[in-house]
Amino acid sequence: MTTLFLTVGLPGAGKTTRARQLAKEHSALRLTPDEWMIPLFGEPEADGKRDVLEGRLLSLAVEALRLGTNVVLDFGCWSRDERSAIRWLVKSVGASCHLVYVPVDHETQRARIAHRRSTTPNQTFPMSEADLLHWRTLFEEPDAAELDGDEIDGPPPGWTGWLEWATERWPSFT
């Protein structure tokens, strides 16, 4: 059975570092959106293009699983709905999904971001103290049941399924 590892955590937590280790251990295809956004657009968001790029990477991830290749999807997924949608999509192709949560406290996060900025400035972008505090309020931390359980929530009210939800969330997902 093929596996998709989905990274979860705030910027600077150490997700991509962990993703690289997992890719090596499991001969997995690693898909890290920042490694596409920054070379293509010089910035991490660029007017909604990140959603489009992530949709393409998600389609590629599902295709790789179908072909028997393990995947590390380094999306960082802050939202529980995003994680549920991806878990559902992975299950729908008969693969297993493993959430890889990389927790980080504020001080460690600051130190890691500063370290990255001084060692690999071209792989990152500026983040202010206010950004870090704001992002922390947006992050939906996964609980033990989500991390260890097989149960996947249903889609939010008004949605017929996760496939429809995912197509709206990531416009280029097919």
| Residues forming the site for Mg ion (CB under 5 A) | 15-16
Q: Is 50 in the site for ligand ADP (CB under 6 A)?
A: no
Taking the C-alpha atoms of residue 109 and residue 58, their distance in angstroms, rounded to an integer, is 27
Q: Amino acid letter at 15?
A: K
Q: Is 92 in the site for ligand ADP (CB under 6 A)?
A: no
Taking the C-alpha atoms of residue 78 and residue 141, their distance in angstroms, rounded to an integer, is 7
**Residue of 100, 98, 133, 130 whose CA lies nearest to 14:** 100
Residues 158, 161, 162, 165: is their CA dihedral positive or negative? negative
Taking the least distance from each CB to ligand ADP, the nearer of 121 and 149 is 121
**Residue of 143, 142, 173, 169 whose CA lies nearest to 156:** 169
Taking the least distance from each CB to ligand ADP, the nearer of 17 and 92 is 17
Residue 70 neighbours by CB distance under 10 Å: 22
Tokens of 72: 């590390």
Only segment of 6-14, 79-87, 88-96, 160-168 that touches ligand ADP (CB under 6 A) = 6-14
Least CB distance to Mg ion at residue 105 (A)? 18
Only segment of 15-23, 42-50, 60-68, 151-159 that touches ligand ADP (CB under 6 A) = 15-23
Residues between 107 and 136 with contacts to ligand ADP, criterion CB under 6 A: 112, 115-116, 119
Only segment of 4-12, 52-60, 89-97, 166-174 that touches ligand ADP (CB under 6 A) = 4-12
Residues lying near ligand ADP in the complex (CB under 6 A): 9, 11-17, 112, 115-116, 119
